[in-house]
Amino acid sequence: MDVEAIRQQFEINALAPLRLVSALTSNLSSGSWIALMTSRMGSIADNSSGGSYGYRMSKAALNIAGKSLAIDLKPQGIAVVILHPGLVATRMINYNPSGISPQQSVEGLLKRIDALTLETSGSFWHANGDVLPW
């Protein structure tokens, strides 16, 4: 197990988005929203295959950060959506033919963002519209 690689995944997948939100939050006003790109691989309840420790752990960290941000920013009228793009046919999954196109993923993600409200802020959404388990 390469602990340094896991540390780098945390920097990229969890800390970088949190730093960005921290830097920009003062520029947001009521009615603004924040979208965090995560993965269902960060779901504890949905983990049936194990492995991918760094990726799973770093995405789970981003998920809980997103949930906490949603709670903390709600009084300011700022919503947070936590998004899984779906299985997208990209290099990351060796262009798996069962994956959806990047265009299909983006269309679904935009629908989730468009439907975001303060009441649904902090929810973990699949691009296809399913609410994902934590």
Q: Are 7 and 61 in contact (CB under 8 A)?
A: no
Superfamily for domain range 3-126: NAD(P)-binding Rossmann-like Domain (3.40.50.720)
Residues 6+ apart with CB under 8 A from 86: 99, 100, 104, 105, 108, 126, 127, 128
CA distance 53 to 74: 31
Kind and range of the H or E element at 35? Answer: strand 33-37
How far CA 27 is from CA of 21, 24, 46, 91, 110, in Å, comes to 10, 6, 35, 35, 22
How far CA 36 is from CA of 32, 49, 81, 97, in Å, comes to 14, 24, 6, 26
pLDDT of amino acid 47:
92
Tens-binned pLDDT, residue by residue, of the chain (134 aa):
899 999 999 999 999 999 999 999 999 999 999 999 999 999 999 999 999 999 999 999 999 999 999 999 999 999 999 999 988 876 666 666 677 788 999 999 999 999 999 999 999 999 999 999 99
